Structure 1
Amino acid sequence: MAGNNAPLGTPTKVTQGSRTKGGIGESTLRPDGTLKVTGEFAYSSDMWHEDMLWGQILRSPVAHAEIVSIDTSEALAQAGVYAVMTYDDLPTDVRHYGLEFPDTPVLAQGRVRHHGEPVAIVAADHPETARRAAAKIRVDYRELPVVTDELTATAPDAPLIHENRTDHHAAHVTHPNILHRQPIIRGDVTEARRSADFIVTGEYTFGMQDQAFLGPESGLAVPAEDGGVDLYIATQWLHSDLRQIAPVLGLPEEKVRMTLSGVGGAFGGREDLSMQIHACLLALRTGKPVKIVYNRFESFFGHVHRHPAKLFYEHGATKDGKLTHLKARIVLDGGAYASASPAVVGNAASLGAGPYAIDNVDIEALALYTNNPPCGAMRGFGAVQACFAYEAQMDKLADKAGMDRVEFRRLNAMEQGTIMPTGQPVDSPAPVAELLRRVKAMPLPPERQWESSEGADVRQLPGGLSNTTHGEGVVRGVGYAVGIKNVGFSEGFDDYSTARVRMEVVGGEPVVTVHTAMAEVGQGGVTVHAQIARTELGVTQVTIQPADTQVGSAGSTSASRQTYVTGGAVKNACELVRERVLEIGRRKFATYHPAWATAELLLEGGKVVTDAGEVLADLADVLEDEAVEVEEEWRHRPTQPFDRHTGQGFGHVQYSFAAHRAVVEVDTELGLVKVIELACAQDVGKALNPLSVVGQIQGGTTQGLGMAVMEEILVDPKTAKVRNPSFTDYLIPTILDTPTMPVDVLELADAHAPYGLRGVGEAPTLSSTPAILAAIRNATGLELNRTPVRPEHLTGM
């Protein structure tokens, strides 16, 4: 019967405003939110299996050495040990893997190339037994000279990190230790220099940042009766993992079944494999389930980090403040293995001019092979390092021109129609000037907030609860920055996603099930997919199935792409389901109501209605025992590789923009910094879930804060050993470090994107760091051309 108990097919009016609750544009709550904050959420490290073994990895204590010999006999003889494996024990001839090309050995082969490289793996009946057995493996190393920077990497007699390279970048670089190089050339910089009234230069240093996710790498591999393996894993990209794992195991992909387990954060650090292959190898060798969980120390060696960088920038401008040219050189340290470094180089180069209109550009970006820790994907992906440099340059230029720093940026800001240095026109809204105007117009926080009638609140002072100052020598500074970040995979990558949507009646109610391989790493995709299904299918009850490889690839949860691409796939599949459901309705009920055969029918609030708002039937009556299921791929418009010599090409599908204003207070005597406020204005195209959007902006902003004043992996320049692999020595922001973060969200739709949305999560990570540095410079008058800023940089000690 129809929802109003009228005879089937009797038209009645829909109540005004009966839009399905929980759809696009609403701040629906996350289904995993309460579980996570109460500690009840099941992460991958919580998994358990009967008769389970524990895996342990033996890692290299040195950064570069020949492996003379490995003796595993003592480890194998220990009670409780089921297996010990080295490179020679691997089951197939495929013994390397990699995101872009396979240069990373599953276990070290004859040589280790970085501190902490896996050398052997152990399976035992208790984690402590596994650790003790690993410690009994005897490895004889003959240490080799280390390569740690551009000078040592490109010297004529430099040790080669990878001899006999065969990857597709090898023929296009001038030295084998240069992993990839990308120039971007447009206009004539030499000629433009002549029209510049002044030129400013800068050399900038950007430290190595860790993703610092709270859930270390972990997973469980279970051998199956068909000779395959089931892997339960915390990752960012199930199908990429599968592509790399199966050949090493010697199994067809259909016999390596992967299911996403609870992910405790990612930020790029889970795009590469960590313990996946090791767990599967041990499970297949022993015939028992094997669980591996890294501790925090291991985690620092178990994933890639953000590339440290040296950046050399030259800008010219006329006396009225118009930019004439940019010449830049960006050198990224990729570490021992390639990971995503080539793509990071492409981003750094193509976005190296920032969100500004500059007709004459000459940018060179490159990544090096060194014996430092491998670097790859991290939130912001190459654009972060460039933004730090070009925003410092904008302040220098504004000061030279005698202009307000925000107004100088607005004068040169790109807009829709601007031609990028790659020759690609910006064909969607680019409200750079408006974002700057908005963030500058936000009210400033009150000064001297630590003062009160009851006395000083030390939590508001530099140094905080350490009670180092009561306001003596504290100076306020304000700084601004804006950045540009691409959305989605670029440079001709076939970026697509897949969604399976099923609509049926369960218990007399219409229910929608959405199944994708999207890795939910905390970004809130599980909420957005349900919102899309409710909007497109008019059904309240939506179930999100666990992500696994039993459905087509969703690509990586990175590059701010999942809401765009997998959201687009869900939307596309829902639209096809809707059409089929409506066709069932036309076919089934046309005899009751002949107008149905030609009417424009819609789904809304669990009912079939006409575009005139007439209720025709409940969806449950339409579907009855029928179910409609669709699995569809969805692609954004194609991109193309950048020209290897000029960097020209339609390389990016979409851009996102964010601007920040930082307010800091600095104790100039002690070198302590307190970030008081980080205000942000960002264009998101369309806020599908406004609450999640603000959360993403604030989260990205906080990571930028960490990079500005505390986070850096320290590597000994003589030995290439990591000096601070723990949260005791590698500091990340706590709630006491996190400032007020007002957010102004713009919604200027991108006509090329589903719902007009724009990727959100990465852009605020770009501009928050240089805004803080600008504010500290404003407070102290110091140049500060490196990040993070430490107390000794502010006091001269």
Structure 2
Amino acid sequence: MPNGAPTKITQGTPTKGGIGESTLRPDGILKVTGEFAYASDMWHEDMLWGQILRSTVAHAEIVSIDTSEALAIPGVHAVLTYDDLPADVKHYGLEIQDTPVLAHGKVRHHGEPVAVIAADHPETARRAAAKIKVDYRELPVITDEASATAPDALLVHENRTDSHIGHVAHPNIVHRQPIVRGDVTEAAKKADVVVAGDYTFGMQDQAFLGPESGLAVPEEDGGVHLYVATQWLHSDLRQIAPVLGLPEDKVRMTLSGVGGAFGGREDLSMQIHACLLALRTGRPVKIVYNRFESFFGHVHRHPARLHYEHGATKDGKLTHVKCRIVLDGGAYASASPAVVGNAASLGIGPYAVDDVEIEAVALYTNNPPCGAMRGFGAVQACFAYEAQMDKVADRLGMDRVEFRQLNAMEQGTVMPTGQRVDSPAPVAELLRRVKAMPMPPERQWESSEGADVRQLPGGLSNTTHGEGVVRGVGYAVGIKNVGFSEGFDDYSTAKVRMEVVGGRPVATVHTAMAEVGQGGVTVHAQIARTELGVAQVTIHPADTQVGSAGSTSASRQTYVTGGAVKNACELVRERVLELGRRRFGTYHPAWATAELLLEGGKVVTDGGEVLADLVDVLEGEAVEVEAEWRHRPTEPFDLRTGQGNGHVQYSFAAHRAVVEVDTELGLVKVVELACAQDVGKALNPLSVVGQIQGGTTQGLGIAVMEEIIVDPRTAKVRNPSFTDYLIPTILDTPTIPVDVLELADDHAPYGLRGVGEAPTLSSTPAVLAAIRDATGLELNRTPVRPEHLTGTA
């Protein structure tokens, strides 16, 4: 095992607690003190370093590749191109296998991998990459809908054969999902007010702090063991093994420390490249991206252009919504089809509207590939439909929050897809709660405690002194699906073992869940304590030696893998009870008491006769169960009408943003982002609040600063660094008070509702609404920059 490989995490009395308690993270102290081992920290004796050569152009034919000078450098052990790949399968992908392991024939985006190198030192590997000569014949770039769908447009993928091709108008459209319900034309005749708007949403990066990294170790049986930072071990395995020409049981995978993900690790990055080099050289190979490479090595959030039309009667009831959403998927499909499905099915927001006409498409272009990111299609739609709700309310002369509450969906509402919402949908209540929260003090820089320049927009740069600062307040609410949708077989697996160690019962929980910072390891221990009554729970490192846990995405892990852990614990409990019945008999007084307490999930938290009996039962014998858990089934959306029960569960969050804007300099300070969210059941309240605050902050980022800039002439990325791609720091992050509502979903384990994504939706439009309130500007694009506020854009 390599140095820095994951070890079991045992949670004993310092973090004891069951469901509903705020237990501490077992990895928290290690992370804040810098002692936690991330994937980039791993080390192995006799290890080589891998390096990737990436294309310097966005669209070009590859005329030739000359690797001779690179191979001649001392210390270089291997240089591989497409022609060196060992198996017949040379492409991979989440849904559509359109991504080449290494570019072949042509490159389709700036930074595409062309060759990989293994050397005995990372600097040697980098020098070798620089010596590879690639002759490109550049081609025109496709960067938007007009260039992608023109009659004479070049095809990004010339030989496309995937199943989506049959229902799109042009091969450069990855996927199209219409949703039609009712009759928009007739409904529009009843509208007293019709408001239309066009919106632009920028390309956002997941900006995780831990870059892509992993270590591939060749095994004696001809296989390989990959230690990697990822979001879905078994999905990686499914894509990696065919390219290596190996059966899946010879590709073993273990999760290493993950420094954030947010969707950017759902797709493969360095996994196949490290394994190929390890198998070719017969030595362990480590690959760690630098920050520049990381911007090219993972997908981003789809930029979008959105057109919306809303109609309403004079008393404020929505008559119809019509919209078209165009998502730029970049050079490869990644998760674009699913993102299209989400954008379309959630495209009108958490509102009850009978007559709806929606079209969502994703394009193939030569821009960077885009795929999963927190909120997954619903974020872009929420930005636009919430701006529209403000505009309609203003045209009607209504309060913006009251207008939303009047049209808010609730339990029993029928979605545009025809699916009836069968769990709590407290949209109006969340808006009421967030509006009722206390407002932050005004002009804080003039407080009685003395002037504080940090309270001003741009104050730390000494540019603002308060003369032109105006406060604005904005509201927004959003809806996000939980779990994988559209007929996907979304399940998870857990293995739970109960035994006596050192005279005390201990439970071990083993899943393939990727812990990426969301706190699943804490929740799994809480579930085991609640269901088994043990104080001490060990969390086994995640790997592929247990069944799939699915992806750590779609706000699904606590719901689905938590459900699997609960199911496995219940089965273990039944077997322990059966052992007790066989040993003590049905009517043994002590064991009858133990049985009742076990079934209530409250036994073995201290000593006593019951504990002694349980230890006697388990002494020398372990009970272990591996169990799956599936949520209720979904179905694909009809490709003509969009009808279908496509989603498992919905989550809702509402935000109120308070901003202060220097209208002369175009500087914005977000003072507060208050949030109210329904979580069904807070399994770990501390973790729930952390998720809401984290998601809110990412929404703030895309509102006022985050955007990958792509040159429209060359399709090259212009800002691949944290110097030029800005993310919120502690100085940008406002106060984020959170009001947690718990209305149980009877279909979910413990009544819980997925938490992580919903706050990312509504925080962005709330901030934009507040800036509009302060400035009176329309502001139909995000992020907002100073030049948009001063009229110099």
Instruction: Please tell me the TM-score bracket, short chain as reference.
Output: over 0.9
What TM-score do the two structures reach when normalised by structure 2? 0.96
- Per-residue deviation, 1:21: 4.6
* 1:784 matched residue in structure 2: 779
Q: What amino acid does structure 2 have at the position aligned with 1:99?
A: L
Q: Secondary structure at the match of 2:258?
A: coil
- Per-residue deviation, 1:91: 0.3
- Per-residue deviation, 1:601: 3.0
* 1:507 matched residue in structure 2: 502
**Superposed, which structure 2 residues align to 1:471-510 within 5 Å?**
471-510=466-505
- Per-residue deviation, 1:455: 4.5
Q: What amino acid does structure 1 have at the position aligned with 2:162?
A: D
C-alpha contact (below 8 Å) 1:55/1:291 kept by paired residues: yes
* 1:769 matched residue in structure 2: 764
C-alpha contact (below 8 Å) 1:601/1:608 kept by paired residues: no
Query: Which string of whole-angstrom CA distances, capped at 9 and with x for unpartnered residues, describes residues 66-108 of structure 1?
Result: 0000000000000000000000000011000000021000000
Q: Between 243-252 and 460-469, report the one with greater CA deviation.
A: 460-469
Cα gap change, 1:706/1:363 in structure 2, threshold over 3 Å: closer, same or farther?
Answer: same
Cα gap change, 1:509/1:111 in structure 2, threshold over 3 Å: closer, same or farther?
Answer: same
C-alpha contact (below 8 Å) 1:217/1:293 kept by paired residues: yes
Please tell me whether residue 25 in structure 1 is matched to residue 47 in structure 2: no
- Per-residue deviation, 1:618: 3.7
CA distance in 1, matches of 2:449, 2:408: 47
Query: Which string of whole-angstrom CA distances, capped at 9 and with x for unpartnered residues, describes residues 652-710 of structure 1?
Result: 00000000000000000000000000000000000000000000000000000000000
Please tell me whether residue 672 in structure 1 is matched to residue 667 in structure 2: yes
C-alpha contact (below 8 Å) 2:653/2:759 kept by paired residues: yes
CA distance in 1, matches of 2:574, 2:764: 48
CA distance in 2, matches of 1:164, 1:463: 52
* 1:436 matched residue in structure 2: 431
* From 268, 273, 282, the counterpart of 2:268: 273
Cα gap change, 1:670/1:616 in structure 2, threshold over 3 Å: closer, same or farther?
Answer: closer
Cα gap change, 1:30/1:599 in structure 2, threshold over 3 Å: closer, same or farther?
Answer: closer
C-alpha contact (below 8 Å) 2:483/2:555 kept by paired residues: yes
**Superposed, which structure 2 residues align to 1:123-522 within 5 Å?**
123-453=118-448, 455-522=450-517
C-alpha contact (below 8 Å) 1:456/1:470 kept by paired residues: no
CA distance in 2, matches of 1:189, 1:559: 31
Q: Which runs of 5+ in 2 are unaligned?
A: 1-12
- Per-residue deviation, 1:649: 0.2
CA distance in 1, matches of 2:71, 2:159: 35
C-alpha contact (below 8 Å) 1:395/1:405 kept by paired residues: yes
CA distance in 2, matches of 1:608, 1:129: 56
Q: What amino acid does structure 2 have at the position aligned with 1:285?
A: R
Q: Which runs of 5+ in 1 are unaligned?
A: 1-17
Query: Which string of whole-angstrom CA distances, capped at 9 and with x for unpartnered residues, describes residues 345-383 of structure 1?
Result: 000000001000000000000000000000000000000
* From 639, 647, 661, the counterpart of 1:644: 639
C-alpha contact (below 8 Å) 1:582/1:602 kept by paired residues: no
* 1:662 matched residue in structure 2: 657
CA distance in 2, matches of 1:332, 1:468: 37
Q: What amino acid does structure 2 have at the position aligned with 1:716?
A: D
CA distance in 1, matches of 2:649, 2:762: 18
* From 36, 43, 59, the counterpart of 1:48: 43
Please tell me whether residue 62 in structure 1 is matched to residue 57 in structure 2: yes
Q: Between 595-604 and 292-301, report the one with greater CA deviation.
A: 595-604
Q: Between 459-468 and 341-350, report the one with greater CA deviation.
A: 459-468
C-alpha contact (below 8 Å) 2:590/2:613 kept by paired residues: no
CA distance in 2, matches of 1:592, 1:61: 77
Cα gap change, 1:434/1:163 in structure 2, threshold over 3 Å: closer, same or farther?
Answer: same
Percent identity, please.
89
C-alpha contact (below 8 Å) 2:216/2:278 kept by paired residues: yes
* 1:551 matched residue in structure 2: 546
Q: What amino acid does structure 1 have at the position aligned with 2:96?
A: F
- Per-residue deviation, 1:624: 1.5
* From 714, 728, 740, the counterpart of 1:733: 728
What TM-score do the two structures reach when normalised by structure 1? 0.96
- Per-residue deviation, 1:592: 7.4
Q: What amino acid does structure 1 have at the position aligned with 2:101?
A: V
Query: Which string of whole-angstrom CA distances, capped at 9 and with x for unpartnered residues, describes residues 453-489 of structure 1?
Result: 5643111110131110110100000000000000000
Q: Secondary structure at the match of 2:444?
A: coil
Q: What amino acid does structure 1 have at the position aligned with 2:523?
A: V
Q: What amino acid does structure 2 have at the position aligned with 1:361?
A: V
Q: Secondary structure at the match of 2:524?
A: helix
Q: Secondary structure at the match of 1:169?
A: helix
CA distance in 2, matches of 1:592, 1:499: 33
Q: What amino acid does structure 2 have at the position aligned with 1:745?
A: V
Q: What amino acid does structure 1 have at the position aligned with 2:462?
A: N
C-alpha contact (below 8 Å) 2:494/2:565 kept by paired residues: yes
Query: Which string of whole-angstrom CA distances, capped at 9 and with x for unpartnered residues, describes residues 302-343 of structure 1?
Result: 000000000000000000000000000000000000000000
Q: Secondary structure at the match of 2:114?
A: strand
What is the RMSD computed on CA atoms of the aligned residues?
1.6
- Per-residue deviation, 1:606: 4.2
Q: Secondary structure at the match of 1:527?
A: helix
* From 708, 712, 721, the counterpart of 1:717: 712
* 1:690 matched residue in structure 2: 685
- Per-residue deviation, 1:590: 1.3
